[in-house]
Structure 1
Amino acid sequence: MRTVLYLRSNEKKMFDALPSELRQKWESKIVEETADNFETPEELEVRVARYSKNPTLAPFLEEANGRLQKGEDLGSVLGSMPEKALKVFIDAIGNSGICALIEIAFLSGKVDEAALTGIATLSDIRHRQMMHSSVLA
């Protein structure tokens, strides 16, 4: 499977600020994300309320909150998410949340090859969800 970075215009600007040697490896893999199927604040509020009590996700959220309050890096916290909780988490945060995670990753100052692979994965999930949402609309 070809790795693609689906980047919105603000994310592309953050990508462009990366060191040139890193950018050169990824520039040919960038596709502009033009879909804009985002959840309303009300939809996200309902999802978060519903999923915060989900037995698959709730234990992780409680642990993650404590780790973040102690100053632990968001990437490290999310990297320890149990696989069974990942789908639930992605659905709970929606496309808006995925955008926020991508922005946080770019702004972390720790973007390397592995981080870009993670960003590409998030951008692919967001792209697929947006395409699915546009078909349903």
Structure 2
Amino acid sequence: MKKGQLSSPVCDSVMDTPARHSHGKRAHFPNLQIPHLQEQKDTNALTDKLAICVDKVRSLETVNANLCQHIAEAEADTSRKLTLYEAELTEVRRVLDSVAMEGNQAKMEVKRLQSENKDLKTR
């Protein structure tokens, strides 16, 4: 440090800033170029990572849309099959009720005929 220069954080930071010529252009300091180049590399790396993330999100959104479509189709198919099964079950129940009724009528007819046969034998 030269005689008469102040040493403070503010003065030090001013000294670390790029020097400017009277025409406003940055003076060439190789040691200042390195951080700038590193910053550019870091920025490019982050940009690349962001692009990868954006692509992954888009890919996942496409997969999600396909899965949603597949689920919707499966739900529609399940609903259609359920409607068919319910109609078939209703028909089977109706037939079962009819057979049960016919069976009860047949049992009643058998009892009536047995009673009539017994009456005829006792005469």
Per the normalisation by structure 2, the TM-score is 0.26
Q: Which has the higher helix share?
A: 2
Indicate the structure whose relative CO is greater, using CA pairs within 8 Å and at least 6 residues apart.
1
Per the normalisation by structure 1, the TM-score is 0.23
Larger Rg, first or second structure (1 or 2): 2
Q: Which has the higher strand share?
A: 1
